[in-house]
A and B are shown apart, each in its own frame.
Chain A
Amino acid sequence: MSLWVDKHRPKELGKLDYHLEQAAHLKKLVECGDFPHLLVYGPSGAGKKTRIMCLLRELYGPGVERLRIEHQNFQTPSKKKLEIITLASNYHLEVNPSDVGFYDRVVVQELIKTCASTQQLDTTGQRHFKVVVLTEVDKLTKDAQHALRRTMEKYMATCRLVLCANSTSKVIPAIRSRCLGLRVPAPSVETIAQILQCVCKKEGLSLPSELATRIAEKSNRNLRRAILMCEACKVHQYPFSPNQEIITPDWEVFLQDTASKVVEEQSPKRLLEVRERIYELLTHCIPPEVIFKGLLREMVKFCDGEVKCEVTRLAAYHEHRLHLGSKAIYHIEAFIASFMALYKKFLEENMSKMF
């Protein structure tokens, strides 16, 4: 537990660093003895999971932190054997049903039902219900979500669900209406810088405020990333200097290079080169959405106002199709090709205007 991210993670609701009002609300919620199903959503690195763990601790005390990993086995109706890893304490169970992909419905039906339908034996414990934490709810299939909505109602007496998602747009309204939504926004740059300072102080290091702000900006308001960056910087060079190089992950650099290659030249040959690079990114488990985002961010820098809109529209269009389809490379390449065509036309028009 010695990454700073883990070491300095607040464990109690009272020790949270930001969104204090929300933390107070949560605390009150727990204090009144019962609470509804929760849907915690927000961008990654905003502290959703930290908040959930704090909440659980508030509910059950430090026993929640005695976690164990369990391997659960299932059989689908088509006799396919599945294994899913769950994280459990005596009081709660955490599952990521989308681990099994297409078969998540089975997980929801079997695992959660069996867990939820059993009463808590030790009633001397604080609560009469257990908590099931489901992560990546936005990646659940529609089937699984529909399976979930009934379970949520039926086992209200014995079980509370805490759903964790990045965005509610893919959660069906039926589930959204059954939950108390809890939005965890990304912390502001200032907050992040502050937290970084705080962490460094705890580590006995002095962090220049410029560097803290730079890291915070670079992290895209992702607190986890910010702290990791900070630690990496420390490993790289200590004592800190205000303008030292902040380590960026390889894939980001690679993606930026790819985008600049696209802008540099527009030809089938270049497209082929870019394809190789996209493949490379995909094999390194970079999600295609992130690739879209990264590409767009770079490309837009080179465009004029109107073209900017058009490029963004294209990116959105192709990203949407990506979600409908299954082979990411087609859609990414389609976006790149259409950008190339657009950009080339734009350049040619500009050239003709110049002369």
Chain B
Amino acid sequence: MDEFPDPEDEFELLHAQEMEAMREMEEFDVEEASRQAALIPPSFKRSLNFTSPTPPSRTTTSSPSSRTTTSSEPSNTTNGPPLSHTTTSQGTLLNDGGMSDNGVERQTQLGGTVTGGRKRPPPEDDGFEEALDILDQDDFATHRKKRSRPLVPMLGLSTLLGGQKSQDEQDEEDMLLIQRITELRNSLSKTEQHNIHHLDLQGISTALVNRVAPVAPHIHRHIPSSGDFQAVTTDTGRRFYLGRLEEDEWDARVAAVGARMGASTHLAVGGSYLQLKAQVEREQIRRDAQLAKRIRDEEDSGMESGVEEETEERESLWVEKFKPQHYLDLLSDESTNRMVLHWLKLWDKLVFGVDKKPKKQEKKKKDFQKDKFNKFGKKFGPEVIEELDDQNRPMQKVLLLAGPPGLGKTTLAHVLGRHAGYHTLEINASNDRSPEAFRTALETAATMRSVLGPSPRPNCLVMDEIDGAPAPSINLLVNMLTGKDMGRATKKGSKKKEATVLHRPVICICNDLYTPALRPLRQIALVVQFPPTHTARLAQRLLEITRKRDLRADLSVLMALCNKTENDIRSCLSVLQFVRSSRREVRLEDVMGAAVGQKDHQRSLFNMWSDIFSIPRQKKIRRNPLQEPLADVSDGTLPPMPDLNGDLSKVGEDTALSYRVQRILSTTHHAPFDKLTQGWFHNYLNIKTASLDNISRGLDWASFTDIQLAEVGHSQSWSLMAYLPYACVSYHLLFASHQWYKIQFPTQMNEIKQKQTKMENLITAMVNDMSPKTRAHLNPPSPSRMTCDLLPFLLHIIQPNLRPVNTQLYSKQERADLNALIDTMLAYNLTYTQERDQNGQYSFTLDPNIEEVVQFPNMKSERQLSYPMRQLISREVELERVRRAEARFTSTENETSTTSKDKRNPPSSKPQNEVAATANNPKSPLPNHLQKLQAKPFSKPGNVQGAVKKVVDGEIVQAPRDFFGRVIENPVNHQVKSTNNEIVKSDIWFRFKEGYSNAVRRTIRMKDL
């Protein structure tokens, strides 16, 4: 590189000295420059040369309208400033102008002609422009008086070169323009010649233009490679970069030109050069200002010639700009900050491997504040558990910051993370937060560290807006934090087992701490509720900012702003910036008028209830200046109340009746009236002072509200809602007192509703399975009718006096009673089921438990059947049910099964083979249980009298044979056969054991029961 410098470098080397000088000049007095810049739009003040030779640039045509107007004074504004001390320095200046990209072209121009730049007619057409240049070059030696001549060839050329503008109209326009320009120039040159002593700017500039090489153009389409520049965007969206010249450089150039002019022309006639120069400058400034004004009018801020400050402001929001960078900048509550930091520091042992004691000393050196905190750690942060677990992690694995928006939670997390030596990694709602994404984020955060930056730091994960994350993600986070995530990790491979336990601090941030999804996280986290920022502190900070931003603001105004936004820093700053963009002063009206902080202005139900039940105290309301505007707002939305409006304006005494009415109306006009009324209903009887008249009046309102709501719900006529707040007003007027009552949330009504539904379900369950005949006469079988009429008596009837003895000992009458009872119970789908109560005792309860429906608390208890009786009834009911089912089954089965019966049950003479065959034959319609029996053929034949099943089994498979191989006919078999047939007919099968053990067994048929 040293040996072979590329052309650019070479150039730089060559002109190193000059460039350095330039840079020095640029650095010189920036303030002065900017001050001037404020006065004069730079684009006009600075030399503008629209020559951009090589590419036929459309840029120059972009604002033709402006240029056509300026063309009356063709050269002074559009041409570059007079240039250069000597011809040798021309190159330098050019490069300074930043035109290195098309330097060659310029060189030719420069070399070729001095008048190259002069030809700056409104360049309607680049081809045309170029043509002009070429023409110029052709006859650059000729005097300008001959200018008018090349018109015809120019036209020709323009049509040739600028093919795209072949329309006649265009040409004519061009021609006209050119003509005008040349005329003007001619006249100018005449004035110059004749009144040289009467030098004016036009003259000078034309002269300059004529004699001096075209200045290095200061408008670029790309960011200039060197030198200062100012970005400007036109209304068409194009961006230019204006090269900047320092004031004194400008002076120098002017002086140089002046000197030359003085030398070559008769300039030195009148006054000193300096006077002239001042004059010219003044003139120029005046014109520039005029021009600027005109153009601004025309283009309507299309060409942003704005002040530097404004563009800067646009670039960054104040919220970003004035974000706290360090711990000491934090606005949030100090103890909260410390608690968070303390928790972060607990990770030091694990993350940095620093033991606690040395860390303390280190901290002492580093930060006095922290040390103080450590000393009073217990006092300030009682919630932070200092112990570390076996992995050196703090007991509370995660920090959960909760609080309303705009208090600086995210900022706090970031600042403290940095402060504690971490690299903060943020995951917020804009990221994908599926469990998988969470996992990767967590794992990367835990295992990797950033390699960029001066010192690689371990990560600290900040999970913003976690209350919006899906519950599985949060569960995953919790699992990883607690190290329970082993199941999955082992599946993946034991390698990952280590990675799933987080070794880095995680800070979660949420607005709503009580989102259901956060429940698991809350239990393991150190929950820090973010207290609101102190109004005074915030206002002080806002004041600093306004000072910095040159915005006049009163501390009281800022306080009001803070109050209004409820100390939301973000919205405060936004309001201020908004005001600043139009004015330099914040007034109280601005703050009051701004639509900030009201949108989310929601009052909780409890607030409303307490408003209703309490008479406001004077002091409290005076402190809040927002109350009055609020009342005004509400007044607009509600039906007019003329008598109250008058009073409101002169409300000095806040306890005035009208004011109270307005207040209630305004607080409740968007309330959920249903809940509001419920809450009132739930609580109003606690007001001891209320008279019965008032109560009945209030209840009248409540029932009126209920009717209204029902009507609104039914007919969807929402306009009725407008009248609902008045009920609240009447509640307030009837029941408000100065005394404070604890307001409870109205849960009772919901509980009642639930209980009622439960009862109804019980009855419906009963009704639904009732026998159709019974059901037909329950007219109608609605729960309410049942409870009124039928059930109470039914409950009595099904609990008759029965002797608690074995049913077989019952007399005929008793037997009939029992049967009737069983019949009733079956008809109404009732039975007793065994249940175990809390004490572990068994009891039989009705199922469905209509006792619950019928019986009321604190009534004399009903006569209840004893446990054995219930057991007995339960059994009987079951048996009867089975019997009926069987009866129904056999009655339907009889017709169908008689045909198949014979096949299925072979005669006993040829027992086993047949049965086996039929069993194996898939076509035979054997009942399921028979087929099953077939499957296990081994069983003792002698075991006959026990269970029917076994008998069948043994008989079929291994009939005993005598010595000669003949089948021994077992007399029992015949018996069994007969039962067998009957049993086989039905799907239901019973094995009944009487007694308490299996010792005595005997076969019992259903019909005997």
Contacts and interface: CB of A to CB of B under 8 A. Distances in A.
Contact of A3 (B677, B748, B779, B797): B797
Contact of A283 (B693, B711, B759, B775): B759
B793 A229 contact: yes
A253 B687 CA distance: 31
B787 A333 contact: no
A334 B685 contact: no
B789 A222 contact: yes
A239 to B, nearest CB: 13
Nearest to A230: B793
Given A254-B856, A337-B696, A235 B792 contact: no
B790 A327 contact: no
Contact of A53 (B704, B771, B776, B793): B776
Interface in A206-250: 222, 224-225, 228-229, 231-232, 235-236, 247-250
Contacts of B824: 2-3
B774 A268 contact: no
Given A6-B827, A9-B777, A67-B773, A285 B787 contact: yes
Contact of B756 (A65, A96, A222, A283): A283
A249 B707 contact: no
B641 interface: no
A315 interface: no
Interface string B793-811: 1101101110000000000
B783 A285 contact: yes
B517 to A, nearest CB: 29
Interface string B701-716: 0111111011101000
Interface stretch (A16-24, A41-49, A172-180, A186-194): A41-49
A87 B771 CA distance: 10
Nearest to A64: B776
B755 interface: yes
A329 interface: yes
B296 to A, nearest CB: 60
A247 B796 contact: yes
Nearest to A326: B710
B442 to A, nearest CB: 41
A250 B855 contact: yes
Nearest to B758: A283
A250 B859 contact: yes
A79 interface: no
B540 interface: no
A306 B34 CA distance: 96
B782 interface: yes
B696 A284 contact: no
Interface in A277-320: 279-280, 282-287, 290, 318
A3 to B, nearest CB: 5
Given A2-B824, A268-B690, A250 B854 contact: yes
B749 interface: yes
B780 interface: yes
Contact of A279 (B677, B748, B774, B853): B748
B268 interface: no
A287 B788 contact: yes
A5 B774 CA distance: 10
Contact of B774 (A6, A53, A286): A6
A96 B779 CA distance: 10
B763 interface: yes
Contacts of B790: 224, 228
Given A44-B785, A284-B787, A268 B692 contact: yes
Given A268-B692, A330-B681, A337-B695, A87 B794 contact: no
Nearest to A49: B779
A253 B859 CA distance: 9
B700 A338 contact: yes
A333 B685 CA distance: 12
B478 to A, nearest CB: 37
Contacts of A282: 752, 756
B800 A254 contact: no
Given A249-B854, A286-B788, A287-B784, A268 B794 contact: no
A340 B692 contact: yes
Contacts of A228: 789-790, 793-794, 797
B857 interface: yes
Interface string B649-679: 0000000000000000000000000000100
A324 B854 contact: no
A224 B789 contact: yes
A96 B782 contact: yes
B706 A326 contact: yes
B703 A325 contact: yes
Interface string B819-838: 11101100110000000000
Given A96-B781, A232-B797, A290 B788 contact: yes
B18 interface: no
- Most-contacted residue by chain B among A85, A268, A324, A344 (CB, 10 A): A268
Interface string A322-352: 1011110111011001101100100000000
B505 to A, nearest CB: 49
Interface in A147-166: 164
A321 interface: yes
B434 interface: no
A85 B768 CA distance: 8
A282 to B, nearest CB: 6
Contact of B703 (A98, A279, A330): A330
Contacts of A49: 776-777, 779
A17 to B, nearest CB: 15
B827 A235 contact: no
A29 interface: no
Nearest to A281: B856
Contacts of B780: 96, 98, 135-136, 164
Contacts of A334: 696, 699-700, 702-703
B520 interface: no
A250 B856 contact: yes
A225 B827 CA distance: 18
Contacts of B777: 5-6, 9, 49-50, 53
Contacts of A2: 819-821, 823-824, 827
B696 A249 contact: no
A330 B696 CA distance: 11
Interface string B204-219: 0000000000000000
Contacts of B700: 334, 338
Nearest to A135: B780
A318 B707 CA distance: 11
Interface string B831-858: 0000000000000000000000111110
A284 B695 contact: no
Nearest to B752: A279
7 contacts: A5-B777, A99-B782, A235-B797, A280-B857, A290-B788, A325-B707, A326-B710
The 6 A-B pairs with the shortest beta carbon distances in the complex, nearest first, are A249-B792, A67-B772, A228-B793, A2-B823, A334-B699, A49-B779
Interface of A: 1-3, 5-6, 9, 44-45, 48-50, 53, 65, 67-69, 85, 87, 94, 96, 98-99, 135-136, 164, 222, 224-225, 228-229, 231-232, 235-236, 247-251, 253-254, 266-269, 271-272, 275, 279-280, 282-287, 290, 318, 321-322, 324-327, 329-331, 333-334, 337-338, 340-341, 344
Given A6-B773, A135-B780, A344-B692, 7 more contacts: A67-B775, A94-B776, A98-B780, A284-B759, A284-B856, A330-B677, A330-B681
